[in-house]
Copies of this chain bind each other. A is one copy, B any other.
Amino acid sequence: MRIAYVALTVGALTVVPHIAAQPASGDTIITTNRPDGRFVSTLGSVRSWMKTKAPRLQYKDASSGGELAAWRDSVADAMARIMKHPSAPAAEAKKVKTVQRDGYRVERWETYPIEGAVVPILALIPDGTDEKNPAKGAALCIPGFAQTKEMLAGENHGDYNLDCDTLPVPGRSAQALMLVKEGLVTVAVDNPSFGELSDNGRADYLLTSRWLLEGGWSYLGYTSWCDRVALQWLKERNDIPKDRVIVSGFSLGTEPLMVLGALDESIYAFVYNDFMCRTRERAFVMTVPDADNRRTFPNSIEHLIPEFLTEFDFPDLVCALAPRPVILTEGGMDRDFDIIRKAYEKAGAPENVEIHHYAKYADQADRVPLDTMPEGVDLATYFRLANVDPPNHYYKAEWVLPWLRKILK
């Protein structure tokens, strides 16, 4: 399959549907030769079982705006059930430090999402902002895997106490810094188990995810709760316009973004900075054994949320954001964007969804026109079929900032 695909793509992309029509054979896919269609292998059996659990709330073109709104409520209910956020509110946050930077100040706050935890966050406030002169807007900025709140805020890596006044040249990940310079109050958070939240410098996503799952919770459930506590704190500030609160997520950070979007109607707009995919489909099709002759799930257990994929997939959750403004900056499959655009049309706000592809696939002729991803692909093939250009995965300020100015006008 891999070889066939490489050979075929040397020619024209129009041959790609041919791949789907001739699925890979043998050990690159999971199949059964029994006449009754049953699998002897447990792997085949449980995949077959999972296929019967089609996402209950998959977005289907709504017949009306009212139907769309009812469906969105169902998504919110399911999300609340799966995320299991505590019913008790978090204890009140405390400010522990303020430092002045060039044109803005940085406040370090401690939040207390659950009884045994302290989760520090950074708030960046433009100079001259106060109750009488509120900021243009506000943004909760959520990092990707291996990024920290310090990177997002343009502070020094590992300088949790903001002691160092010599700041690094801001990297492309410094979304909270970019947005404060646009006149927004921004909040930078860590993803659990990383940066300041790590275990003596160990990024132990897997171990914390395991504990959370043992207790009936999940990494995303906990993460989105911590982020929700930070968002709630942000919304209560009196120096921001409460109807202009944005959530901006990069990569791993788009997962809590989707959760908050489903749960909190007061969020004004969203920066979805990752490629869009159907994560359920991805797990079904990436069946090619790796170099050690093992099949693996495409991601690790910090992405495991029991029952999530029986309710919805990522495109559905972006549909559920309609009609609120969203920018998707790193493309994906036209198939999925067609659905998202339809939802925004039905919500009466087609102009509120803005989609950009990777530069490499900006021209539609360079994108793969697939409707169904074929089973039997490896990661490189998956990325090509989904129009993803991994080396260019970064926070797309070039798209986000102009969009931001437009929606905050």
Contact = CB atoms under 8 A, between A and B. Distances in A.
A87 interface: no
- Copies of this chain present: 2
Interface in A302-349: 304, 306-310
A210 B304 contact: yes
Nearest to A223: B42
Contacts of A215: 46, 49-50, 53, 306-307, 309-310
Interface stretch (A62-70, A114-122, A239-247, A394-402): A114-122
B202 A42 contact: no
A279 B202 CA distance: 24
A310 to B, nearest CB: 6
Interface string A30-54: 1000101111111111111111110
Contacts of A237: none
A216 B307 contact: yes
Contact of A199 (B53, B283, B295, B301): B295
A122 to B, nearest CB: 14
Interface residues of A, number: 63
A305 to B, nearest CB: 8
Interface stretch (A140-148, A190-198, A355-363): A190-198
A215 to B, nearest CB: 5
Contacts of A304: 210, 213-214
A185 to B, nearest CB: 24
Q: Is the interface of A mostly helix, strand, loop or mixed?
A: mixed
Nearest to A45: B117
A30 B296 CA distance: 31
A204 interface: yes
A115 B197 CA distance: 44
A200 B42 contact: no
A214 B112 CA distance: 29
Given A52-B115, A211-B47, A42 B306 contact: no
8 contacts: A40-B117, A41-B197, A42-B198, A43-B204, A43-B211, A45-B119, A48-B115, A50-B211
Given A42-B197, A48-B116, 15 more contacts: A30-B199, A38-B118, A40-B197, A42-B117, A43-B193, A43-B202, A45-B119, A45-B192, A46-B211, A46-B212, A49-B114, A51-B116, A214-B310, A215-B306, A215-B309
